[in-house]
């Protein structure tokens, strides 16, 4: 399970990325170190964020302290967020689709029968008639191909604190059911007008607590 070690694991990841770079980058590394070590919840100021050239996301797993992960890889619509402890989280259109090396359980994959409605923001939800279905794979236990169903409700515009600033976002609730496990939850996504998910609370499988993700510095292409 992702625990506060991500605070410190990230330091090693950033150090490897910055090693051999400019003095400004080493200053940014020091700011990272200060932010991660001194607070139970990882927190970055505007000045610190401005010094970091990498895409960042806050993550909280259940009631654990908030940590940060860095964008390590982009593959089409997939974003791979990683720590030096080899814990990783893969998102697609803001949705968690895969995790690796978490302690208690992992999401092996999430796929949709057709198209993930989040791919096209509010327009995608409308085109999908606000519902979708697909399959989830999970470990341990080699539970593969478990069908799930989703239904979406657009709740309206709400204010969220994103990277130290108030941001007006559209809340979308996702009613999520895995019938074979008798599992039901409601996931929450906060999108901007372009469909970018800035914050979410997701629990794709019952053997992991909810993930709370808050986008700090998006991948530049996602803003276009």
Q: d(Cα 215, Cα 68) in Å, to the nearest integer?
A: 10
Query: Given this structure, which CATH class describes domain 5-219?
Result: mainly beta
Cβ–Cβ contacts within 10 Å for residue 37, how many? 11
Give the 3-state secondary structure of residue 140: coil
CB 222 within 8 A of CB 185: no
Least confident window among 61-75, 151-165, 166-180, 195-209: 61-75
Interatomic CA distance for residues 159 and 156, integer angstroms: 10
Mean pLDDT of 67-80: 93
Reported confidence tier of residue 10, pLDDT bands at 50, 70, 90: very low
What are the boundaries of each domain within the chain? 5-219
pLDDT, tens digit, 9 for 90 and up, residues 102-119 = 988 999 999 999 999 999
Summarize pLDDT for 137-187 with one digit per residue, the tens. 999 999 999 999 999 999 999 999 999 999 999 999 999 999 999 999 999
Interatomic CA distance for residues 5 and 9, integer angstroms = 6
Q: Please give the residue that has the higher pLDDT: either 25 or 85.
A: 85
Contacts of 61 (CB under 8 A, 6+ apart): 1, 2, 3, 208, 209, 210, 211, 212
Burial degree of 152 (CB within 10 A; 0-12, 13-18, 19+): buried
Residue 224: count of CB within 10 angstroms of its CB: 6
CA neighbor of 196 nearest in space, from 164, 166, 162, 145: 162
CA atoms within 13 A on the CB side of 126: 4
pTM listed for this prediction: 0.84
Cα torsion 8, 10, 11, 15: sign: positive
Share the mean pLDDT of the chain: 85
Compute CA distances 82 → 155, 205, 217, whole Å.
32, 20, 15
Query: Measured between alpha carbons, how far is 210 from 201 in angstroms, rounded to an integer?
Result: 6
- 18-60 confidence digits (pLDDT tens): 444 444 445 444 444 444 443 467 778 888 888 888 899 999 9
Q: Which residues contact 32 (CB under 8 A, 6 or more apart)?
A: 10, 11, 14, 48, 52
Length of the chain: 224
Instruction: Return the pLDDT at 11.
Output: 47
pLDDT at 40: 60
């Amino acid at each position: 399970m992702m625990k506060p070690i991500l605070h410190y694991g990230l330091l090693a990841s950033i150090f490897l990325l910055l090693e051999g770079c400019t003095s400004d980058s080493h200053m940014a590394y020091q700011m990272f170190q200060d932010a991660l070590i001194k607070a139970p919840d990882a927190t970055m100021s505007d000045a610190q964020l401005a010094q970091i050239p990498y895409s960042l996301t806050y993550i909280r797993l259940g009631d654990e302290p908030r940590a940060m992960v860095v964008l390590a890889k982009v593959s089409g619509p997939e974003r791979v967020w990683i720590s030096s402890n080899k814990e990783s989280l893969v998102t697609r259109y803001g949705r968690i689709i895969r995790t690796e090396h978490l302690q208690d359980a992992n999401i092996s994959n999430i796929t949709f029968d057709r198209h993930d409605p989040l791919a096209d923001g509010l327009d995608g939800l409308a085109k999908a008639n606000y519902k979708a279905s697909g399959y989830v794979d999970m470990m341990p236990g080699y539970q593969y191909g478990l069908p799930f169903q989703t239904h979406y409700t657009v709740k309206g515009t709400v204010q969220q604190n994103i990277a130290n600033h108030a941001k007006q976002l559209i809340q979308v609730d996702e009613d999520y059911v895995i019938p074979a496990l008798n599992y039901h939850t409601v996931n929450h996504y906060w999108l901007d007008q372009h469909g970018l998910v800035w914050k979410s609370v997701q629990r794709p499988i019952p053997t992991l607590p909810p993930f709370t993700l808050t986008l700090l510095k998006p991948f530049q292409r996602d803003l276009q």
